[in-house]
Amino acid sequence: MSSNVAKRADRKFLSDSDLRRAAIRIGPNREVAWSEMIRLYEPKVSQAISRTLIRLGRKPQGHLIEDLVEATWVRIAAKSCRLLRVWNPTQGALGVFLAGIGRYQTRNSSRLWARRKEVKLEEAELRSLADRPDSRLSPEEVAQLMEAEVKVQAWEADLGLLERRVWEIRKEGASSRTIGLFLGRDHKTVCAILLRLQMGLRQILVGQES
């Protein structure tokens, strides 16, 4: 028996289309289908992520790959398995399609990491400016800056779980559509949350200036 025949015999579903169909439908076979899909294709997804990390100049560390693999499956399952629903069997195998999602997730996460590093450098530079003896900021302005920072931190601590995740990703430079894809939320919901966050932050800053 060839290896390909052995693999087909070991499958719980006759085809990728059957597997996809069971995974997106609510029923007794859904959990089985997801377990089977992960068993069959997680190695391919993991390999695609590892190779993408190398191309991006990042070391493919085990814990990083695990996090990206998990994020990939979350993306695949988001919005009632929207990505699985749009997969077209005539345009490529399911494993290749899922590996492509893993590559996209890796590239997207890499952009967020880069933006997060920029934000941290900007924050460090701002603090350094305020702490310099030759700073152009007056002592009163430095005190106001520090007070505003404390107020913003308190405001962030009071945010709900979803609002905090949206805010954290937004600070990393992500667009509203990218946030929606990352969290599995529709664009309208993300925009409404961002508007509330902007209004809340504006109230803090306006109060600081008065």
Distances (CA, A) of 118 to 39, 125, 171: 38, 10, 10
Q: Which two tokens stand for residue 106?
A: 């890796």
Cβ burial of 50 (10 Å; 0-12, 13-18, 19+) is buried
Domain layout of the chain by residue ranges: 1-117, 137-210
Q: Return the CATH fold of 137-210.
A: Arc Repressor Mutant, subunit A (1.10.10)
DSSP character for 90? G
The alpha carbon of residue 70 and the mean position of all alpha carbons in its chain are separated, in whole angstroms, by 10
Low-confidence ranges of the chain (pLDDT < 50): 1-9
Cα–Cα distance for residue pair 209/148, rounded to 1 Å: 10
Let me know the angle formed at the C-alpha of 199 by 195 and 203, rounded to the nearest 5 degrees: 170
SS3 content of the chain, % helix, strand, coil (to 5): 80, 0, 20
| Residues comprising the chain, all counted | 210
- Predicted confidence at residue 28, as pLDDT, reads 82
Structure tokens belonging to residue 25:
């439908």
Residue 180 confidence (pLDDT): 79
Q: How far is CA 190 from the centre of its chain?
A: 14
Long-range contacts: 25-30, Cβ < 8 Å, 24+? none
CA atoms within a 13 Å half-sphere pointing along the CA-CB vector of 163? 16
DSSP structure string for 13-29: SSSHHHHHHHHHS-STT
Q: Render the burial of 61-86: b for 16+ CB within 10 Å, e for the rest.
A: eeebbeebbebbbebbbbeebebbee
The span from the CA of 180 to the CA of 44, in Å, is 26
Residue 108 is predicted with a pLDDT of 85
pLDDT (0 to 100) of residue 49: 95
130's tokens: 């305020």
